[in-house]
Structure 1
Amino acid sequence: MPSMDSCNYRVTLFYKLIAIIGGSALAFGQIPKCTTTNRIAYFFYCNLTHMPPVNSDTLVLDLSFNYLSEVNSTFFPRLLQLVDLNLGSQQTERLIVKKDSFRNTPSLVKLDLAYNQLLILDSDGLAGLSQLKILFLYYNKLNGSILENDYFKDLMSLEYVDLSSNEITYLRPNPLFYHLYSLDIINLRHNQISSICAGDLHSFERKYFTIMELSHNRFNKWETLGSDRCGNPFRNIEFDTLMLSGTGFDVDKMQKFCGALNGTKMMQLKLDSHGMGAGFGYNHIKDPDNSTFVGLVNSNLQILDLSTGNIFSLKPYTFGNLTVLKLLNLAENKINRIENKAFCGLNSLITLNLSYNLLGELYDYSFEGLPDLTTIDLQQNHIGAIQNNAFKSLEKLNYLDLRGNAMKKVTFFEALIPITYIFFGGNKLKSIDSSYVYSTFLDLSENDLNDLGGLFKILQYPLLQYVILKRNRLSVCYSHFSISKNNSLLHLDLSDNMINLIWDNGQCLNVFSNLSLLGLLKLNNNFLRYLPEGIFNGLESLQTLNLSSNLLTHLMPGVFPTNLDTVDLSKNQLYSPSPKVFLSVKKLDLTHNQYICDCFLLDFIMWLNETNATLLGSPYDTYCMYPPNFLFQPLHILTVENCDDDKVLMPLMFSLFVLTSTTILVLMSTVVTYTHYRGFCFATYKRILGLIIGNEKKEEAADACKYDAYLCYSSKDFQWVQDAFLRNLDTQYCDRNRFRLCFEERDFIPGEDHIVNIRDAIWNSKKTICIVTKQFLKDGWCVEALNYAQSRYFTELKDVLIMVVVGSLSQYQFMKYQPIRAYVKRAQYLRWPEDIQDVEWFLGRLSYQILKENTVEKKPNQASRKPFNHELQNIETIS
């Protein structure tokens, strides 16, 4: 019997033959229909009823999907070099192939007569095709006579015949098949064969078939199976692969079938889509046991496929007689229990597939008796617990796949022998409890990991080379270990996480510092707005860096290592990048960014047109997003003649000169005037101040405030406040908003005293909203505005102040300021939500607080309180 390698070689060679000859149309996909080009004649869907004119040296002729109803000896001209002919899928009710129809095409290697509604084939219709290797006859309503008669008598080179999806009910091949020595693949899938007995395949005896496909026939009605009068249907025939999928055999019929084979030699037996097993809740149906496959003991079987069934429990010694079996496929059953010694006897098994079953736990006895096992596939089960020594007996295990299970923790790492590939993706891991992983490749993707410090743990194993952490929830980093400089990490995937939160908090900025061998780093889809300075220091071998689909707006020169070869910056928000950033990069993807096409982009555009770097992606995907008249204009077609530096800067320099001179003159005049008339100025100021205060009180009494709310925040937070609050609440930003908001950049009177502007904003607004951030606490004007708002509270006895805390401010950080402590004692502050999906709810809550009118009851001792202004004198000044 040929070895497995030689059989695989023959199958590969067969598919290459189909690809080269039968699939030649794909190589010339641009050839128009109903023409002949480069010795390829395409005449499919051409409404033909007769043979079109073609060149005599044609190699490939496609006449499918036409209206040909008859082929005879005069149909084809002399096409002595034709090797591939397609006559399939004719639109007529039938196709008649008469005697000597192919006498003018003697060199045919592949003939396709498939998918005709009815094929009427003369017994000499295939005469003269001595070179034919591949024959397609599927979907033609052919019956058993196609094999029983001598239609194939001249096909001495035939290697593959496809008779699937016909109406064949029996198999009794004509004796001529003795002489078809090359025939080694026959496809009889989806016919109506109900039984095969000894002697039916007498013409196939002493032949070796690479593939015999008998799947999805009607063998479930095989009443004589296993009886003495039926015998072994495959007597004296050898197979590389025998396919009998979809038989529906239960355990008894499977036992009879295996017994009937009686040592027939085969390398692979496919029995998937069987009927064995109790499934879930059907105890009256048997699972296979140690007697089911005993008939295969002398078959030298190396691959057994029992996938897609209802096997629920694996009994002891179920496969105990298959001592030379190397691959066992039990995927897509209902296996829930592996009993003790279930796999004993499989001394040569290399690969075990238990994927897509119902396993919930693995015990230390689950895989006993598998000394040579190297690969085990357990993905897509429901495994939640694994006993520590479950894999310890598998001394040669090299590939462990546990993806798509329900593990919340991994506690058996220390009990593992070294395994090259470990896959834990798609589980529910929240942390990595082991700091020593015996693996070269570790996949932890699509879990619930949130601590990047786990990477520091697993890299304690010096031989780990590939780590996949994509699609987790990495957002914090507590590094209790340090990464050794002797690590071997080559590939690190951190994509689809929240690394931005880690770096924003200043955590683990040294995560890459000791990864000197790392060649590929993926950081795409991490919401990165910036790259911390020196974050890639130490990556001496980095070749590929993926930063796509982030929020990067600016890159500092020198941020990338000099050895970097490929960078992906697509789908970011780069506005006007400096070419100096990319000087050392050889391959670069800058597509789908937010380029602002003004003269500041001049250097970048010139660099794009002159660089020797390979720009990945289409140049039409590198386009402008602003100004509107340049929207989606590709950068490579923009002209730069109008961006002369002198012409552009001259008006700007003159404007700056005039503005500076005017500012200095006005300032000097103001100082001189104030020095000489300071008494008059002070008196005027007091008089105006009195009028303003009077007007405010009058407006207050009339309950007709100019604004709904005054937004008080640090000027350094303006961009964020604008995006978060103004665009969602202020009427001038959007008509659907309902509030008239007051804020410094728009509503303060230029040139007016700043404290007067603040006081006017507070008294002319129903509520004051203080956006408390780290910058707010450092801004003296903001704290002063908070004092004024509290003063109004004590004056009107109305809850007119709303405080919103933003960012990672701790209770201690803002409670150390006395005005904030005073507010917190009497009211609750709001905190900006961390999760973006809660923002809409938060804005609704804030809107309610703005509209809500709360009157504060005056306490009995409140009249005796010292004026609030007196308290303010004791507050620590904040610069």
Structure 2
Amino acid sequence: MLDALAAVLSVLGRHLDSVPSGITSNATELDLSENYITNISVKSFSNLRNLTKLDLSWANKNHAVNIVANKRLISLLTLLSSSTLQHYIFQKTLQKLQSLRTLHLEGLVFQTIVQDTLSPLYGLRNLSALNLGTNFIIKSDSKIFSKFQQLKMIYLAENRLYPSPVKSIANPSDGFHQRLDLSISPYIKPHTDFAYDVSHSLIKQECFDSGRVLILSSNNLFFISPKQFEGYGNIACLNLSGNGFSAALNGTEFSSLPNLTYLDLSFNKIDLTSVIIRTTSNHTGVTHNLNFMKNLPALRVLNMSHNAISILTTKQMHSKSLSELQFTDNNLGTLWKERDGSYEMLFTNLTNLTILDISQNRITKIPDNVYERLPHNLTKLRISGNSLTDFKWNRLKCFHQLQILDLSFNSLSHVKGINSNITQSLTFLDLSHNHIFHLDDGFIKGPKSLTTLSLSNNKLTTINQSTLLSISNNQIKTLFLQQNPFQCTCYSFEFILWIENSNVKIPRLTTKVKCATPENQKGRALIYFDINQCVNDSQAFQIYILITSFIFAFMFVTTVAHLFYWDASYVVHFMKARLKGYRSLNSPESVYDVFVTYDTRDPHVSEWVMKNLRVKLEEEGETHLPLCLEERDWPLGVPLVDNLTQSIQYSRKTLFVLTEGYVKTGVFKLAMYLAHQRLLDENVDVIVLLMLEPVLQHSHFLRLRRRLCEKSVVEWPRTAAAEAWFWQNLRSVVRVDNQIMYNKTYSKYFTNNLHCVPYVS
């Protein structure tokens, strides 16, 4: 016993050999396909007065089924069948089904349709959809279909119909009756569903609303003539997809269909002019002509998708009736790259066009003129699946009725502001599957019409506050954000807070809007990020005060150090000297002409001082006071500080022989400090620098010394020829007061303020 509550029953492929008993009377749909049922008796459906759909396809696999005439199925609306039914009995059954609206007769394996072929169906006055697809039909007398006054759908897809008109059909008695004993081809399996369903992608509801529908897709109609459609009746929707046309169309082929409003020519390799072009690379191609549209005055929908159109002899399409054009998967990118811009007005003269789909056309850039030359009546514009890196948003102001703009699956990385001057009609904007990583401040300003925005599958890590405010101030009700690498840190605090408090609907918020960084938050829903760690007011305020104080202190110290380094250094050392009890000393009369301080640990330097410097200054030239040399004149047993102090105090000048090793010693620093002390206490500059090696090149002291008294800095010459000049210059420097050699620009200031001159540390 089957479930008494079931209204839709399926026993598909259950290896049944008879119709199961106990089917409750409330059953509305029954599927008996792919079983081994050999007989269907009157009692089989005696209870099923509410049955509206019955599927008997392959009820006995590849063998016949005996079905007894049954008038019990008074409510049956849809019947699916195949050639495995015994026709002479099945014919009587059909005559009883006056309520039948949809009939599937797939896999019948007959080759022609003549008068007797469909004669059993003439009495079905309510029949509105007939499926003869997936057969081997080669020829068809289309006039037969005029006998079905209520027939709205004629489905002849996936057959072998040829284009030549039928003049005479031999053996008219051959047909449906003669094919009774033919079993279904093992390579053909009837469909379990039918294209009459308005949700099917091939057919739109508007086609059914406008008139009869004829489906001739996937046949062998490589050529069509005006006689091709005679007898089918008032066809409004015609599907010719997947036929591989090879002949030119001029529109007269559809003269027998004056009310044709929907034409599907997709998935063809249409040669609409039969013009062969030889390219420079010896490839053969075809050009396409679209002038046939002029001869279709009632055409409202045209599908030219999937035709690989990259060359056109028609530079402009003309139609006053066309309202929808499907032009996907062609090559507009190539057409719009023409330097002469001849294809920029391709769609301009489609004056009534409201829907344009140019997705998957290999477009990398839309020429500026194309924006202005698209029909301005557009309400839907789809440009998805291309390679756009930029879109001229300000050009949207030309489209005063545009409601849907689809820019998904492109390569946009940055989106500029969309304001009220651009559009006031846009309701849906799809920017999904791009490379957008940043939204400008005030991303959306002004257009109150926008209700749905898709930013899913981009590279957004967070959305700034100004952007969120612009979204909130508009009428956006739905915002798609899934599959973005969001950052779950306190930087996203405002974003997360906005999500929690906003009335905007965000689909899949807990399942697809996830964190990508940091690593410990990866894969977790963004909305579950704990923002309490970011909103502790007291702790945050303390951290703010600490960081702010540190920044201000650092800036103050660095500024003071830069502007008042030497003054501050002087004050520090002056105060240290006061604390230690130091006082100013008045130097007695000079005992030595020059005190020479150098690196006594370096034998080469010591030898040079004793055998060269001493000789040149003491023995040559005019007679002066002797030099003070550590290795010769310092008394033994006296502390270093005392020897240095006395040598500097009792010498008229202090000559520093500078080498890499010496400037790193404490003796050098101490000697320099004591020499500066004379400058501070006595206002006497006694320092002379002899650069035996290039040292202190980045020292503030050396740079200032060169600026104030350049002659007091002497460098050992690089060539032997210049040594005589060097010694003469050195004698002059050590025997002349430094104040005389000061730079005139600074001499006046530093003569009165020599205590400000810095010393090296």
Structure-1 residue corresponding to 2:297: 371
Structure-2 residue corresponding to 1:59: 5
The Cα of 1:594 is off from its aligned counterpart by 0.7
- For the residues of structure 2 that align with 1:627 and 1:687, how far apart are their CA atoms? 54
Residues 169 and 194 of structure 1 are in contact (CA less than 8 Å); yes or no, is this contact kept in structure 2? no
Give % identity. Answer: 18
1:337 to 245, 266, 272: 272
2:17 is aligned with 1:95: yes
Structure-1 residue corresponding to 2:487: 594
Structure-2 residue corresponding to 1:115: 34
- For the residues of structure 1 that align with 2:570 and 2:387, how far apart are their CA atoms? 61
1:159 to 77, 80, 83: 77
Structure-2 residue corresponding to 1:275: 220
2:252 is aligned with 1:309: no
Residues 570 and 591 of structure 1 are in contact (CA less than 8 Å); yes or no, is this contact kept in structure 2? no
- For the residues of structure 1 that align with 2:425 and 2:524, how far apart are their CA atoms? 41
Tell me the TM-score normalised to structure 2 length.
Answer: 0.54
Report Cα offsets for 1:54-94 as digits up to 9, x if no partner.
6xxx320xxxxxxxxxxxxxxxxxxxxxx44433321x4x4
Residues 109 and 131 of structure 1 are in contact (CA less than 8 Å); yes or no, is this contact kept in structure 2? yes
Alignment coverage as a number of residue pairs: 530
1:383 to 285, 295, 309: 309
- For the residues of structure 2 that align with 1:454 and 1:417, how far apart are their CA atoms? 16
More divergent stretch after superposition (104-113 vs 169-178): 169-178
C-alpha spacing 1:618/1:135, structure 2 compared with 1 (3 Å)? same
Q: Cα RMSD between the aligned structures?
A: 5.6
Structure-2 residue corresponding to 1:284: none
Residues 453 and 480 of structure 2 are in contact (CA less than 8 Å); yes or no, is this contact kept in structure 1? no
- For the residues of structure 2 that align with 1:543 and 1:555, how far apart are their CA atoms? 20
Residues 102 and 128 of structure 2 are in contact (CA less than 8 Å); yes or no, is this contact kept in structure 1? yes
Structure-2 residue corresponding to 1:618: 509
- For the residues of structure 2 that align with 1:485 and 1:276, how far apart are their CA atoms? 41
2:327 is aligned with 1:402: yes
**Structure 1 gaps, min length 5:** 1-50, 61-82, 278-286, 341-357, 429-445, 504-508, 572-588, 693-752, 758-794, 796-879
Match runs of 1:197-276 below 5 Å:
198-199=115-116, 203-208=120-125, 209-220=127-138, 238=149, 239-252=151-164, 254-256=166-168, 267-276=212-221
Structure-1 residue corresponding to 2:733: none
The Cα of 1:688 is off from its aligned counterpart by 4.9
- For the residues of structure 2 that align with 1:690 and 1:450, how far apart are their CA atoms? 72
- For the residues of structure 2 that align with 1:260 and 1:115, how far apart are their CA atoms? 32
Larger Rg: 2
2:104 to 176, 187, 191: 187
Structure-1 residue corresponding to 2:59: 140
- For the residues of structure 2 that align with 1:367 and 1:151, how far apart are their CA atoms? 50
2:354 to 417, 421, 426: 421
The Cα of 1:486 is off from its aligned counterpart by 9.9
2:474 is aligned with 1:564: yes
SS in 2 for 1:125: helix
| Counterpart code for 1:618 | L
- For the residues of structure 2 that align with 1:658 and 1:246, how far apart are their CA atoms? 79
SS in 2 for 1:186: strand
Structure-2 residue corresponding to 1:791: none
- For the residues of structure 2 that align with 1:121 and 1:373, how far apart are their CA atoms? 47
Greater relative contact order (Cα 8 A, min sep 6): structure 1 or 2? 2
Tell me the TM-score normalised to structure 1 length.
Answer: 0.48
**Structure 2 gaps, min length 5:** 174-210, 276-284, 337-342, 575-596, 598-643, 645-653, 665-695, 701-717, 719-761
The Cα of 1:336 is off from its aligned counterpart by 1.0
The Cα of 1:189 is off from its aligned counterpart by 0.5
Structure-2 residue corresponding to 1:709: none
- For the residues of structure 1 that align with 2:662 and 2:392, how far apart are their CA atoms? 58
The Cα of 1:449 is off from its aligned counterpart by 0.8
- For the residues of structure 1 that align with 2:510 and 2:697, how far apart are their CA atoms? 51
Structure-2 residue corresponding to 1:361: 288
- For the residues of structure 1 that align with 2:228 and 2:171, how far apart are their CA atoms? 9
Structure-2 residue corresponding to 1:412: 345
| Counterpart code for 2:271 | N
- For the residues of structure 1 that align with 2:217 and 2:47, how far apart are their CA atoms? 40
The Cα of 1:135 is off from its aligned counterpart by 1.9
Residues 492 and 518 of structure 1 are in contact (CA less than 8 Å); yes or no, is this contact kept in structure 2? yes
| Counterpart code for 1:360 | T
SS in 2 for 1:191: coil
C-alpha spacing 1:122/1:194, structure 2 compared with 1 (3 Å)? farther
C-alpha spacing 1:685/1:624, structure 2 compared with 1 (3 Å)? farther
Match runs of 1:365-764 below 5 Å:
366-386=292-312, 391-392=317-318, 394-407=319-332, 408-409=335-336, 410-412=343-345, 416-421=349-354, 423=356, 425-426=358-359, 447-449=363-365, 457=372, 468=382, 490-492=403-405, 513-515=421-423, 518-521=426-429, 530-533=438-441, 536-539=444-447, 542-547=450-455, 549-551=458-460, 555-557=464-466, 560-561=469-470, 563-566=473-476, 592-597=485-490, 614=505, 616-619=507-510, 636=528, 638=530, 640=532, 644-647=536-539, 650=542, 672-673=568-569, 687-688=659-660
- For the residues of structure 1 that align with 2:89 and 2:18, how far apart are their CA atoms? 24
C-alpha spacing 1:455/1:491, structure 2 compared with 1 (3 Å)? farther
Match runs of 1:827-838 below 5 Å:
none
Report Cα offsets for 1:313-360 as digits up to 9, x if no partner.
1477544445565555554444313589xxxxxxxxxxxxxxxxx973
The Cα of 1:628 is off from its aligned counterpart by 5.3
